[in-house]
């Protein structure tokens, strides 16, 4: 029998220490990534940010000194304990390629990442 909290979290998370930019129109906030999965990202609450659950933002996770980033359109899934959880709504091909590689390197299990990628169609 499965636990309901385990059912909700079907995607592995990877702790990754890097900067993140959140933007909406002409507004931009700098933040720090707490963790990332194939389905979204958890970031520290940016100073001066006034978002609400369901709002949509561009989230850019910087991988290498502004040269490489994972870019996604994401909606606010939750705000809790000075952190914001974003649910990925759209991610471009280059970004999903970078994210997949990041997940494989940090999880050490390419097959697990492949299974989670196949679940994205059903999530």
Report how far residue 123's alpha carbon sits from residue 111's, in angstroms, rounded to the nearest whole number.
18
Question: Considering the chain, what is the average pLDDT of its residues?
Answer: 83
- Residue-wise pLDDT for 110-121, tens only, equals 776 677 667 766
**pLDDT-derived band at 9, boundaries 50, 70, 90:** low
Q: Mention every residue, 6+ apart, whose C-beta is less than 8 A from residue 60.
A: 20, 21, 22, 23, 69, 70, 71
Q: Rounded to two decimals, what is the model's pTM? A: 0.82
Token pair recorded at residue 11? 């995607």
Domains annotated on the chain, with CATH: 12-122 (2.40.10.220)
User: What is the pLDDT averaged over residues 29-56?
Assistant: 93
Q: Average pLDDT in the 20-31 region? A: 94
Q: Mapping DSSP to helix (H, G, I), strand (E, B) and coil, where does residue 87 land?
A: strand
Cα angle at 15 between 9 and 21, to 5 degrees? 100
> Which SS3 state, helix, strand or coil, does residue 123 take?
coil
Per-residue pLDDT averaged across 75-100, rounded? 92
DSSP letters spanning 14-81: EE---EEEEEETTEEEEEEEEEEETTEEEEEPPTT----TT-EEEEEEEEETTTEEEEEEEEEEEEET
Element (H, E) at 104: helix 93-107
Which segment of 7-21, 65-79, 95-109 scores lowest on mean pLDDT? 7-21
């Amino acid at each position: 029998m499965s636990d309901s909290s385990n059912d909700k979290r079907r995607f592995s998370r990877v702790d990754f220490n890097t900067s993140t930019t959140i933007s909406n129109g002409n507004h931009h906030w700098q933040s720090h990534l707490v963790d990332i999965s194939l389905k979204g990202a958890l970031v520290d609450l940016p100073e001066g940010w006034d978002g609400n659950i369901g709002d949509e933002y561009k989230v850019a996770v910087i991988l290498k000194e502004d040269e490489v980033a994972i870019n996604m359109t994401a909606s606010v899934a939750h705000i809790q304990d000075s952190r914001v959880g974003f649910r990925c709504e759209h991610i471009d091909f280059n970004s999903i390629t970078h994210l997949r590689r990041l997940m494989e390197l940090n999880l050490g299990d390419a097959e697990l990442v492949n299974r989670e990628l196949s679940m994205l169609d059903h999530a």
